[in-house]
């Protein structure tokens, strides 16, 4: 896909959800979502099955029950517009290629519906097929293509119409692992060149992290948090987001402030003194998030590093994961996961070894709910 | 040493299966291949020299009457398909597009043609829609117009369209429902809507299923003998063949020429159906609800839809309604309704000609029984044995589907002409047992399909477990396989029974006397005269009842059987 693009959108548009709710009969599947997607962004809806991410995406295209609230594309309120009048193009999870048409006819469809002259249709289809590397496949039928090739045709079909918004509904989920990784990079590059606002639905956080500028995490029809991948990982707003992105150690307990000190106490005796800066709100019931890779694990008889919070425990389990080793350490009634990088020759801890966990205070994150 | 090896090989041949296969092969040969081969042979045989000639065909097309019949038949079949489709397409579109309860009624329409073949209601339709029939009398009174529903070929087209319209409707609905919703959404997403969407996406995807169904309907109408005969339309292929054979005799070559033409068309239609569906697997995996998007009807639209559905229901049921009126009416002519009502016709058929009913029950039961025995045997041999050439049993048996009933009848008359039944001296060609054989051969393809599907469901390991515990093959089949195939076998039996009970084309060729005749022949005889119409209608109603009852019982049995299976299977 190294062609020079005439298809780049000069002025990409943003998308706004304004207090959007969608219900199937009595069941609310999207609950009061307000969100702003910036022009030209590669934006992801990330969440588990049933979170409403596909519903939200389809709502942009105009499919599904009529929502309450508003959807704006650019400055236009499209909430009441039928699908064929919105300038958004969607790649379906099953690709939805029409089996009775050749690849060319599939790709040309949108242009024909827009009434473009035949010569222009032909040249644009040629351009786009070259872009996705399928120039010689124009006369084939979808059934004669591999999964990866079908996906490219579905993509070509959408970008050829130069939509103001590109929607991708889990487009990579039917591909095998190697192809998926390759397609992620290609999609990312394509989006950058085309400069088109793109919304991408996935349940795979690695995919979202890798490809997207910003992510909205959804659960049960509610947006849990919006931000760029690193922010979401480092500063999750709640337990769900903390658990969904990466592995999380969550220790439940209470946050107390006495004198000028803040201490976090868990029911089974873990006490963590916290700098005031670590406070995320008032005192009370909280959870502390510690990422496994932020913890250093040492034997009891080793010297302690300076300025770290210290927790004593016993090794319960050890898992070799190739690049690193994961320890399950029991502290009181809590199990804490610790990841250390694996270097051959370095002595590992054994099961039932008494150990000490050290973590920097500023790597403790306090979660509100 | 070589002898011992040879002996061992001989011992390993499954003699039981081989004998069965050979017997079945012989049966099919004598009663299917031989007669049809004979017919085709005679059509190309020079009467004097016995050599190959095309003269009969050139004579056929040189004769104005036959040319006219040829085109008439094609015209009638094509127009019937067109009319039936014209009504079916919008209706199918309605039911797949909109949420409305009437859809259930429309689905049930599909059963109506199965319980009564078109010829039974043909005369009743004349009385309802003919030039002096009920509808035209009313139209004449109110509007002063007269619509030629039943004039000449129109009558045949009308009766056939109404009869086959539900087939096409069900077929089309199924094709539409098979379309993945994402196909439609992707098109809407790229700007298509309404008629363009239908024309570019929905229709082409539904096409293959429709074509397959339409070509089958085409050939059924082309082959139908009873309807034109009863409507007194003789300038069509099937009636011409019948008239030539019955008036001039079995030496007349024209009947054979027509037979070859009809078989040719059958094969052509089957080929078209096969072409349409092969290599176009348009049904795709559906996520979250299949079929096209549905929307609800506005109240005004609802009234319109229900009215249309009701109208169509009435029209589709009009032959049945007419038949019922005719069976209970005393005199009905030049009047909108019968003058008075009576049960005299029913009494007459029971008292004067009870053999029509008893013969039918006898023949249809035996034919259906033969079908399932042969069907199970062939299915078992094809799917469970390793006999050389066993697929041919399947192919030959299934080939009967391309043979019109008329042609089979002619074939039997010709092949068994001059032969006598041993011990009784009766002519073999018109022996009632031969009629049963003919009926079973005609229905064998459907029974075989049912049995094959049923056997597919029975895992081989169930049989192997029985063999392992000491049961021999025949016992295993009897105690394990057949009971497990139960539902399929019953379904095969019922369809064979139901269709054999009202079959006319073959029957009319092979029946010599009224004493041996079944219902269909009785209806035909009675309907020839104005006085006998009432009794003929009564017989028709009896036929419909028999078939409906049989179908209903089988559905109940299969349904309870299925429920029992679900409980017992792990």
Reported as a single tens digit per residue, the pLDDT across B144-173 is 888 888 888 999 999 999 998 888 888 888
B193 at the A interface (CB within 8 A)?
yes
* CB-CB under 8 Å, A100 with B281: no
Name residues whose C-beta falls within 8 Å of residue B284's C-beta, 6 or more positions apart in sequence.
A94, A99, B180, B182, B183
pLDDT at B56 over 70: yes
What is the mean pLDDT of the segment spanning B75-95? 88
Instruction: Give B340's pLDDT tier (boundaries 50, 70, 90).
Output: confident
In a 13 Å sphere around the CA of B77, the CA atoms on its Cβ side amount to 24
For chain A, say whether B282 makes contact (Cβ under 8 Å).
yes
Task: Give me the pLDDT at residue A1, please.
Answer: 38
| Mutation target vs A (from B175, B179, B186, B283; most A CBs, 10 A cutoff) | B186
Supply the pLDDT for residue B430. 78
- In angstroms, the separation between the Cα of residue B89 and the nearest Cα of chain A is 20
Asked if residue A362 has pLDDT above 90, the reply is no
Higher pLDDT, B13 or B255: B255
pTM of the model: 0.76
Q: At B424, is the pLDDT very low, low, confident or very high (cuts 50, 70, 90)?
A: confident
Structure-token pair, residue B414 = 């010709």
Question: Could B188 and A99 be called an inter-chain contact, meaning their C-beta atoms sit closer than 8 Å?
Answer: no
pLDDT in the model for residue A7: 47
- Whether residue A120 is predicted with pLDDT greater than 50 in this model: the reply is yes
Specify the pairing of strand A261-265 against strand A334-341.
unpaired
Q: Which residue of B182, B189, B205 is in closest CB contact with A100? A: B205
Q: Is B201 on the interface with A (CB under 8 A)?
A: yes
A99 contacts B287? CB cut-off 8 A: no
**What pLDDT score does B285 carry?**
47
Q: Express as a percent the part of chain B with pLDDT over 90.
A: 33
Q: Given an 8 Å threshold on Cβ–Cβ distance, is B190 in contact with A161? A: yes
Q: Which pLDDT score, from 0 to 100, does residue A276 have?
A: 62
Average pLDDT of chain B, as a whole number: 86
- Average confidence (pLDDT) over A48-72: 92
CATH topology of domain B2-330+344-569: MetI-like fold (1.10.3720)
- CA-based angle A338:A344:A345, to the nearest 5? 100
Which own/partner contact pairs does B54-59 have at CB distance under 8 Å and 24+ positions apart?
B56/B253, B56/B254, B56/B256, B56/B257, B57/B257, B59/B253, B59/B254, B59/B257
On chain B, the residues whose CB falls within 8 A of the CB of A114 are 191
Q: Do B280 and A114 touch (CB under 8 A)?
A: no
CA distance A140 to A150: 11
Q: Which residues of A touch B (CB under 8 A)?
A: 61-63, 82-84, 88-90, 92-94, 96, 98-100, 109-110, 113-114, 143, 157-158, 161
Q: What's the rounded Cα separation, in Å, for the pair A341 and A319?
A: 12
Q: Closest Cα of chain A to B198: distance in Å?
A: 13
Nearest C-alpha neighbor of B265 from the set B154, B403, B60, B445: B403
Per-residue pLDDT, B566: 57
Q: Return the closest-CA partner of residue B83 out of B160, B152, B135, B170.
A: B160
Tell me the nearest-neighbour CA distance from A186 into chain B, angstroms: 23
Nearest chain B residue to A114 by CA distance is B191
The yes-or-no verdict on residue B249 having pLDDT over 50 is yes
- Interchain contact, A99 vs B180, CB within 8 Å: no
Contact at CB, A109 and B180, closer than 8 angstroms: no
Q: Using the beta-carbon criterion (under 8 Å), do B180 and A161 form an inter-chain contact? A: no
Does the structure show a pLDDT above 90 at B178? no
Q: Above 80 in pLDDT, residue A2?
A: no
Q: Test A89 with B189 for CB contact under 8 angstroms.
A: yes
| Nearest-angstrom CA–CA distance, B507 and B436 | 9
Does residue B67 register a pLDDT over 90? yes
What is the distance in angstroms between the Cα of A24 and the nearest Cα belonging to chain B?
A: 13
| CA–CA separation, B35 and B43 (whole Å) | 12
- B435-438, Cβ contacts within 8 angstroms, sequence gap of 24 or more: B435/B363, B435/B506, B435/B507, B435/B510, B435/B511, B435/B516, B435/B518, B436/B363, B436/B366, B436/B367, B436/B370, B437/B31, B437/B367, B437/B370, B438/B31, B438/B408, B438/B409, B438/B412, B438/B506, B438/B510
Residue B280 binned pLDDT confidence (cut-offs 50, 70, 90): low
Q: Name the average pLDDT for chain A.
A: 87
pLDDT over 70 (residue A6): no
Q: Return the minimum-mean-pLDDT range out of A352-361, B293-302, B350-359.
A: B293-302
Q: Which residue has the higher pLDDT, B313 or B521?
A: B521
A84 contacts B191? CB cut-off 8 A: yes
Q: What is the pLDDT of residue B529?
A: 86
A3-17, A72-86, B95-109: which range is least confident on average?
A3-17
Least CB-CB distance to B185: which of A63, A113, A143? A63
Residue B285 at interface with chain A, using a CB cutoff of 8 Å: yes
Q: Which residue has the higher pLDDT, B131 or B73?
A: B73
pLDDT of residue B442: 92
CB contact under 8 Å between A99 and B186, yes or no, is no
Distance of alpha carbon A251 from alpha carbon A288, whole angstroms: 5
Place of tokens 């004067």: B352
pLDDT > 50? residue B18: yes
pLDDT score, position B569: 45
pLDDT mean over A316-338: 90
For residue B454, count CB atoms less than 10 angstroms from its CB and return exposed for 0-12, middle for 13-18, buried for 19 or more: buried
- Which residue of chain A is at minimal alpha-carbon distance from B207? A100
Among A113-117, B152-156, B386-390, the minimum mean pLDDT is found in B386-390
**For residue A9, what pLDDT band results from cuts at 50, 70 and 90?**
low
Residue A207 has pLDDT above 70, yes or no: yes
pLDDT at B283 over 60: no
Residues of chain A with Cβ-Cβ distance to B203 below 8 Å are none
User: What's the pLDDT at B286?
Assistant: 47
User: With an 8 Å Cβ cutoff, is B192 touching chain A?
Assistant: yes
User: Is any Cβ of chain A less than 8 angstroms from the Cβ of B190?
Assistant: yes
- A181-214: b (≥16 Cβ within 10 Å) or e: eebbeebbebbebbbbbbbbbbbebebbbebbeb
B480-517: string of b/e by CB count within 10 Å (b at 16+)?
bbbebbbbbbbbbbbbbbbbbbbbbbbbbbbbeeeebb
Verify whether the Cβ–Cβ distance B191 to A114 is below 8 Å: yes
Q: What is the mean pLDDT of residues A292-301?
A: 88
In the block, which residue shows the tokens 């008439």? Answer: B72
Token pair in block for residue A118: 């035949």
Name chain A contacts of B281, Cβ cutoff 8 Å.
99, 143
Q: What percent of chain A has pLDDT over 70?
A: 94
């Amino acid at each position: 896909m190294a062609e020079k693009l005439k298809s780049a959108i000069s002025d990409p548009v943003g998308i706004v959800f304004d207090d959007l709710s969608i219900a199937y009969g009595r069941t609310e599947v999207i609950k009061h979502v307000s969100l702003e997607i910036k022009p030209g962004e590669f934006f992801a809806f990330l969440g588990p099955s049933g979170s409403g991410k596909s519903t939200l995406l389809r709502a942009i295209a105009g499919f599904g029950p009529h929502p309450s609230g508003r959807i704006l594309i650019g400055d236009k309120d499209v909430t009441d517009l039928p699908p064929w009048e919105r300038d958004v193009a969607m790649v379906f999870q099953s690709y939805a290629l029409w089996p009775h048409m050749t690849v060319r006819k599939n790709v040309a469809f949108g242009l024909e519906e827009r009434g473009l002259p035949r010569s222009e249709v032909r040249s644009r289809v040629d351009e786009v097929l070259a872009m996705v590397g399928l120039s010689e496949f124009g006369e084939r039928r979808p059934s004669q293509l591999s999964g990866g090739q079908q996906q490219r045709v579905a993509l070509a079909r959408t970008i050829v119409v130069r939509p103001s918004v590109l929607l991708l509904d889990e487009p990579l989920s039917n591909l095998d692992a190697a192809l998926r990784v390759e397609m992620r990079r290609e999609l990312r590059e394509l989006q950058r060149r085309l400069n088109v606002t793109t919304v991408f639905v996935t349940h795979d956080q690695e995919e979202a992290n890798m490809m997207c500028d910003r992510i909205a995490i959804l659960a049960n029809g509610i947006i849990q948090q919006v931000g760029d991948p690193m922010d979401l990982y480092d500063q999750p707003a709640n337990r769900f987001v903390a658990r969904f992105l990466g592995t999380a150690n969550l220790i439940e307990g209470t946050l107390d402030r006495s004198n000028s000190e803040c201490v976090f106490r868990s029911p089974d005796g873990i006490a963590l003194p916290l700098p005031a800066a670590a406070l995320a709100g008032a005192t009370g019931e909280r959870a502390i998030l510690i990422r496994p890779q932020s913890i250093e694990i040492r034997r009891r008889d080793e010297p302690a590093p300076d300025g770290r919070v210290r927790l004593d425990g016993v090794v319960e389990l050890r898992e070799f994961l190739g690049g690193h080793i994961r320890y399950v350490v029991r502290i009181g009634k809590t199990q804490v996961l610790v990841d250390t990088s694996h270097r051959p020759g370095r002595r590992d801890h054994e099961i039932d070894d008494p150990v000490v966990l050290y973590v920097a205070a500023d790597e403790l994150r306090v979660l509100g709910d | 040493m070589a002898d011992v090896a040879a002996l061992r090989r001989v011992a390993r041949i499954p003699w039981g299966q081989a004998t069965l296969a050979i017997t079945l092969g012989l049966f099919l040969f004598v009663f299917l291949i031989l007669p049809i081969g004979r017919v085709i042979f005679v059509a190309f045989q020079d009467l004097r020299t016995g050599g190959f000639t095309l003269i009969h065909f050139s004579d056929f097309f040189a004769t104005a009457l036959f040319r006219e019949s040829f085109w008439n038949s094609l015209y009638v079949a094509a127009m019937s398909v067109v009319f039936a489709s014209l009504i079916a397409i919008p209706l199918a579109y309605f039911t797949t597009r909109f949420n409305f309860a009437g859809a259930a009624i429309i689905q049930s329409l599909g059963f109506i043609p199965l319980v009564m073949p078109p010829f039974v209601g043909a005369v009743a339709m004349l009385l309802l829609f003919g030039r002096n029939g009920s509808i035209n009398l009313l139209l004449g009174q109110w509007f002063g117009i007269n619509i030629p529903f039943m004039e000449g070929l129109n009558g045949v087209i009308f009766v056939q369209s109404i009869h086959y319209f539900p087939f096409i409707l069900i077929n089309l609905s199924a094709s539409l429902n098979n379309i993945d919703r994402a196909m439609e959404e992707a098109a809407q997403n790229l700007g298509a809507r309404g008629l363009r969407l239908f024309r570019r996406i929905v229709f082409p995807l539904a096409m293959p299923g429709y074509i397959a169904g339409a070509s089958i309907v085409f050939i059924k109408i082309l082959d139908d003998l009873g309807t034109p005969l009863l409507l007194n339309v003789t300038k069509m292929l099937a009636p011409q063949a019948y008239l030539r054979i019955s008036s001039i005799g079995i030496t007349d070559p024209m009947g054979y020429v027509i037979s070859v033409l009809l078989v040719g068309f059958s094969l052509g239609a089957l080929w078209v159906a096969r072409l349409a569906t092969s290599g176009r697997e348009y049904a795709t995996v559906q996520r979250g609800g299949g079929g096209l998007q549905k929307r609800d009807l506005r109240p005004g639209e609802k009234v319109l839809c229900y009215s249309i559905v009701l109208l169509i229901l009435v029209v589709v049921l009009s032959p049945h309604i007419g038949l019922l009126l005719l069976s209970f009416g005393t005199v009905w002519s030049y009047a909108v309704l019968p003058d008075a009502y009576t049960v005299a016709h029913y009494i007459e058929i029971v008292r004067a000609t009870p053999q029509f009913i008893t013969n039918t029950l006898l023949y249809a039961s035996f034919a259906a029984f033969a079908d399932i025995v042969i069907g199970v045997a062939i299915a078992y041999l094809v799917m469970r044995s390793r006999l050389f050439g066993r697929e041919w049993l399947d192919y030959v048996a299934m080939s009967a589907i391309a043979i019109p009933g008329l042609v089979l009848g002619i074939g039997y008359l010709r092949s068994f002409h001059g032969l006598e039944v041993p011990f009784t001296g009766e002519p073999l060609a018109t022996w009632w047992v031969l009629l049963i054989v003919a009926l079973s051969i005609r229905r064998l393809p459907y029974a075989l399909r049912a049995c094959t599907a049923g056997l597919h469901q029975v895992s081989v390991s169930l049989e192997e477990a029985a063999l392992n515990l000491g049961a021999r093959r025949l016992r295993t089949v009897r105690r394990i396989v057949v009971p497990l195939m139960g539902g399929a076998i019953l379904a095969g039996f019922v369809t064979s029974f139901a269709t054999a009970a009202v079959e006319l084309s073959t029957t009319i060729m092979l029946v010599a006397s009224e004493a041996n005749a079944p219902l269909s022949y009785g209806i035909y005889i009675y309907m020839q005269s104005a006085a006998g119409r009432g009794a003929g209608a009564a017989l028709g109603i009896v036929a419909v009842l028999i078939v409906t009852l049989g179908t209903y019982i089988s559905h109940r049995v299969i349904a309870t059987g299925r429920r029992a299976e679900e409980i017992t299977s792990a």
